[in-house]
Amino acid sequence: MKRSKWIWLVWAVVLLSYLVPYTLLSDVSRWYGSFLFWSVAGVVIIALNVFITKDFKENSDD
């Protein structure tokens, strides 16, 4: 699969960031509820971007 296609995973995380806290976690009033979910989502986004931009490698300035 082309690396850039992985961006769709980012969009999937975004979708989950709308759905999960407003449904499954709407009654979990502890730190391991929405707070943890969205924090983990943030870390996953960073990891995906590291992977997606791996090809941005060439040595600058021509």
Quick note: the x/- pattern for other proteins over 12-51, rule CB under 8 A, is: -xx--xx--xx--xxxxxxx-xxx--xx-xxx-xx-xxx-
State the CB neighbour count (10 A cutoff) for residue 49.
13
Q: Are 13 and 41 in contact (CB under 8 A)?
A: yes
For 16, 25, 35, 55, the CA distances from 48, given in Å and listed in that order, are: 15, 24, 20, 13
Distance in Å, CB of 19 to other proteins, minimum: 10
Binding residues (CB under 8 A) for other proteins: these are 4, 7, 10, 13-14, 17-18, 21-22, 25-31, 33-35, 38-39, 41-43, 45-46, 48-50, 52-53, 55-62
